[in-house]
Amino acid sequence: MWLLVVSLAVAAEEEEASDVAVAIASTLIGSISICMMLFYLLNWPDADIRRYSYDVISATCSIFCAVLLFDTFQDTLEVYLLDGRGIIVNIVANFAHQLVWFTVMQFTLAHFAMAHKSPEDRKEGINGEGTD
């Protein structure tokens, strides 16, 4: 009973939490909840659930990394090349930047699809007989 009275007295004297403190606490609780959920799904007894959980986490990480990479290159382009330039220069540079990423994507897809190899070599690569 004495502990209850003391805790009520201390609670009455405390300051009210600021909006920032509530936001930080909510973010922390949400992050811990998501981590617990991921551990739960990744240790699920069913192999299909584990596999799909890994696939979703992998795709999420890939998207996150792609956005960070693009944003870094875009910020670098703006700071070092486009700062103080006209609108036409900005438009042309941004289209060129988009064209570079599109070209990189096309060459990457062609490489992974083995488009540069003959049909026989592609079959060998798919079957695992040839790796190069």
d(CA 77, CA 92): 12
Task: From 103, 74, 111, 112, select the one nearest 90 (Cα to Cα).
Answer: 74
Q: What is the model's pLDDT at position 118?
A: 78
Tokens 């209850």, located at residue: 4
C-alpha torsion angle, residues 62, 67, 69, 72 (rounded to 10):
-160
Q: What is the model's pLDDT at position 84?
A: 87
pTM beyond 0.95, yes or no: no
d(CA 79, CA 82): 6
The answer to whether 20 and 28 are in contact (CB under 8 A) is: no
Full pLDDT tens readout for the chain, 132 residues: 666 665 666 655 667 778 998 999 999 999 999 999 999 999 999 999 999 999 999 999 999 999 999 999 999 999 998 888 899 999 999 999 999 999 999 999 998 888 777 777 767 766 665 454
Q: What is the model's pLDDT at position 4?
A: 63
Task: Determine the Cα angle at 132 with ends 60 and 66, to 5°.
Answer: 20
Q: What is the model's pLDDT at position 8?
A: 61
How many residues are given for the chain? 132
